[in-house]
Each structure stands twice: as structure tokens, then as C-alpha cells.
Amino acid sequence: MNGSPEEISHYIWRAKYRLPDSDFALEDTWRRVARTLASVEAHNRRHWEERFVSLLRDFRFLPGGRIQAGAGTSRNVTLFNCFVMGSVEDSIPGIFRALREAAITMQQGGGIGVDFSTLRPRGTQAKAGGTIASGPVSFMEVWDAMCGTILSTGARRGAMMATLRCDHPDIEEFVAAKQTPGRLRRFNLSVLVTDAFMAAVKADEDWPLVFPAETVSGHGETVLREWPGAPKPVACCILRSIRARKLWQLILRGCYDYAEPGVLFVDQINLLNNLSYCERITATNPCGEVPLPPYGACDLGSVNLTRFVVAPFTTNAKMDTISLIESVRDAVRLLDNVIDVSQFPLPQQRAKAQGSRRIGLGITGLADALLMLGLNYGEEGARNAATEVMRIICHSAYRASVAIAKKKSPFPFFETGNYLQSPFIQSLPDDIRQAIAQDGIRNSHLIAIAPTGTISLLAGNISSGIEPIFAASYTRKVLDKNGQANEFRLTDYALSSWRTLVGSATDFPPGFTTAAQLSVDAHIDMQAALQPHVDNSISKTINVPQHLPFDEFSRIYDLAYDKRLKGCTTFRQNPITGTILSETSDADDAPHCCMLEREAD
């Protein structure tokens, strides 16, 4: 079916975010969300309700889907999109306790991330009971079945991220886990890649695969390793070794042929974690933009950059930075209030969210906004403009959080000296660091760039997150409230606006480019340009042409590591992974910027 910006927006609203007994128009939804999130204000609630309505109106700010669907309803749901679960204890009672917690979390609407590195490798014997382990991948099958059962109907898809350390003895099985059609389809997979592993790859050294010695029987050489759930490095048995380059090639070949697994540069994540003094991170939310500690949660929302472009498509086009700063200030307060309004599936999640008050304010519509400014996404001028916008948003968000802390108090886990020593905080302007030293800060983390697939459709099919424009026109599958897929024939928002402006159905504005036309370097360079102003992380899919040779593909991950990105996700069309976007011609050759599993609500 055809889908004008208004038609697709209305369809998404009805299918996912409308409360049938009270939301008779979009304005009612905005009012419901604003009133609920203003209700925790001790003073001037009506003032903040009006500020929040103004922020939401015309899709200037797009809260995460769980906020829009759940705020102000009587449903037993969480307003947080995703969680990272607690450490999975390596025992049958511990494993099924973790499964129960995951099921409760997903039943209330939260996607999950799970680090399976704590589970004994396949074939090893336990010291305590002598039982033979079936390995982490076998238990991932149980999680996958649970997810399919819990979310078997409706428009809300199950979303899970599984991670495994690059030195876990079952790493090869993990890398290949989704290469069998239909297997683990509700999981995204990511390998936790360390600096030591990358150094071993570069030096072409052997790479030991290890597991804590106190858990597995047998004797042999041991090494000290950080391990999930352990407060300090533990002695680990070297169970076997593999050539580092061989393992790296296995990982990259999986990415090339199957778009799985992703790669998380876990040492970079922990180095730049503002709370490195009190937590270690080994997993992320399902799309990777929020690295989280055990029981951490992501509280997401995105500024719609297309609404801040003044005089689009003219020589006078510019960003309205004054309005942008004002909107960021209100968005930080709105997302901070979500923490106090939301229900939580588990008490541990409430304690962690309220202790750190982590939020993830991001952007969407970047590619469309750049086009409206007359800039080509793949060129340096566009990257410079995007970097400046991200810098403004980041610094404005931090200043807003300090201002809230001055009125309401800093987040409970805040320790002035330790927090100020974080490398990311050290990179902020002097006035922000001085304000933090004096008044504290309300939120431990503030910036994350999510894929925003569905909420970008809600805003009229703007480009998603920081992704480039997929294509001029394309077909997109969208699930309705009964879980049925409906196809929409869509035109990019900025292109549609341009054609309305010039009165042509075929013209293209200066600077128009699509994901298929961009070089691999252009994708990486945009992500790298914005990362210095993002304290969480960025969900970005690097689109790869099907004909790109494997050797050139492998270079992507070296570039990502060298540019100190926190993670890297590529997509090269393949017969295993489903797609939700397709062009109307040459569909078999088109690189897809989204996958069904990575589509965010």
C-alpha cells in the first residue's frame, strides 16, 4: 500500500502507541505522556506538562516507544526499552533463575542483553558435581524459545542481545550459532573483543581460551583474567589455544556471510564508562547503543533534527541552535522523570536505574536534516555539521543535568572525585566540569544514539538515527497490533518535502545520496565523528555492497578499532537474515540499512 508521511505516521500511532479508550488524536497521546511525566515534579507540574507537550508536539522530540505506549496507562509495563540482565550463575538453579528474570522482564515489554560468558564450555566437567556441561549456546536456545513464547503475538517483537568473551572456549560455536537457518533468530550476537586479543591478532600470536579454574576440573597452566561477576581478576585454566588471526577471521567471515556476530570493543567501553569506578560492563541493550552493567536499563529518546532546520533547501538553510538547546534541556528533564514514573520488572533493575539515573538522549533524522541543509552525508562538510550539532546536544544535556542536580540532588552513585576522573568527563568544557564539582550531576550518562526505526516512521518516515537515507523510495514491512506484516510504499521524508516544494515527482535536491552510494569509509567516519560527544554508544549499521571482497570487508573492523569506536555492526545482504526494507528495483543488489532483529520500538 502507498504511505504518505501522514498515512504512515497515523498507522504507526494506531498500531503501537495509541491508548484506545483515551487517545483520540496524536495530541491526546502527547498530553497523556506529558502529564504523566510531569506528575513527579514537586512544584509547577502544570508548567512542566505544557513544556513537555510543546517538546513532543510535531515530533520535535521522540521518546522511546515504551514511554509513548506505556506512560499514563494502567498496564503493568515498564517505560524502559531494554535491560541488561544480571550475571548468569553457572549452575542449573542459577541458569533457570536468570531465565525467569528474563521472562518477567520481557513480559513487561523490555528487551534484554545477556552475557553468557559465565557458563562452562561444552564438554567440561564440573568440579563440584562431576556433570558435563552442554555449553552457553545450548542455553541460549532456551532463552530463544522463551522469547518466542512470551512475545508470540502482537506488534512488539522480542529483542535480545547475547554476548560472549573472545577468550571463552566456546567462542567458535558462538560465532557460528546463527549460521543454521532459523536458529536463535530472536538474538543479536556480539563478541566481547579485548585490546589484548586485537594485539594478538596484529602479532599473529596464539590466543588462549580460558575458564575460571575453580569451576572446571583438570589441571594445567592458569592465567589471571577479569571475569564477569568477579570483583577482581581470577585464575583461569587455559583449556586450549587458537591462532588469534584464525579466530578473528572466523568472526569476520560470520559478519560477512551472515551479518552476525557484531563486535563490541569491551575495553574501550569500560575505559570511557563514567561509572568505571563502581561497575564493569560486559553486555549492551539489543541494538548496542547503551552498554550496561548487570541489571542496568536504557531510558531512550531522540531529538528529531529535521524540525530544527530553518529555511530548508535554500542558501539560507541553518540549524536553529537556540531552539535545539531549549529542547535538549526539556528532553533531559523528561527522560529523568521517566526513572521515577516507570515500573520495573525486577527490584534490582529499579535500584540500578535509580542509583545511576542513566539516560540515553539521542538524535534521529540526521541524514534528512543534512540534506535539508544542502549537505551530502558522505562528505566532510556534512560530518563537520553533524559533529557540531552533536557537540551542542551533548554539552547542553550535561548543563541541564547539572541544573537538575542543583535542585533535586545528584544521582546516588555519584562520587565527585572519581566521576570527574572519567576520560569522557575530562573531555568536557571547563565550565561543565566545574559545575559538576560544585553541584554534582543528576544523570551518570546522558547521550546514546539509537536506531529509532519505528518512531522515525511515526514522525513521517524521517531517516533513522544517524543512518544515511536508505533509498529515494522503497517498500517497508510494518507489523500491526495483531503481529501481521503490512507493506508500505514509502518515500524519504526530506525528498518528499523537496518534491512538494519544487512541484516535481522526480527531481532530487542537491546532496541527495543513499546508503548504497556511500563508501564504507563514509559510514565509519560519520560514526567516529560523533562518538566523542556520546558517553554511551551509537547504534550504526555499516552497509556493505554484496560484491565487496572479503579482504576489503575485513578492513572495516580494523578501522573501527583504530578509530576507537565502542562497537561495529555491518550488514551485507545474505539469504539468512530477513529484511524489512527493499527497493522497488535491483532489490537483490541493494545493501539494507536495517534488519528485522535490529528494528527498535
Active site amino acids: 285, 287, 289
Angle at 562 between CA 556 and CA 565, to 5 degrees: 80
* Burial class of 296 by CB neighbour count within 10 A (0 to 12, 13 to 18, 19+): buried
Q: Please check whether residue 397 is in contact with residue 448, taking contact to mean a CB–CB distance below 8 angstroms.
A: no
Residue 74: count other Cβ atoms within 10 Å of its Cβ: 8
Residues β-bridged to residue 114: 162
Query: What does the block give as the cell for 587?
Result: 532489490
CA 345 to chain centre: 20
How far is residue 415's CA from residue 412's CA, in Å, rounded to a whole number? 9
Residues β-bridged to residue 360: 300
- CA separation, residue 395 to residues 390, 400, 424, 447 (Å): 9, 9, 12, 10
How far is residue 590's CA from residue 518's CA, in Å, rounded to a whole number? 12
How far is residue 287's CA from residue 283's CA, in Å, rounded to a whole number? 11
270-274, Cβ contacts within 8 angstroms, sequence gap of 24 or more: 271/423, 272/422, 272/423, 272/424, 272/535, 272/566, 273/422, 274/419, 274/422, 274/424, 274/425, 274/444, 274/445, 274/535
Spell out a b/e string for 460-484, using b for 16 or more CB atoms within 10 Å of the CB, else e.
bbbbbbbbbbbbbebbbbbbeeeee
Query: What does the block give as the cell for 361?
Result: 538522549
Q: Pairing state of beta strands 187-193 and 262-265?
A: parallel
Residues β-bridged to residue 192: 165, 264
Nearest residue to 553 via CA among 252, 262, 259: 252
Query: What does the block give as the cell for 71?
Result: 506512560
Spell out a b/e string for 113-142, using b for 16 or more CB atoms within 10 Å of the CB, else e.
bbbbbbbbbeebeeeeeeeebebbbebbee
- Four-residue CA torsion sign, 394, 523, 518, 466: negative
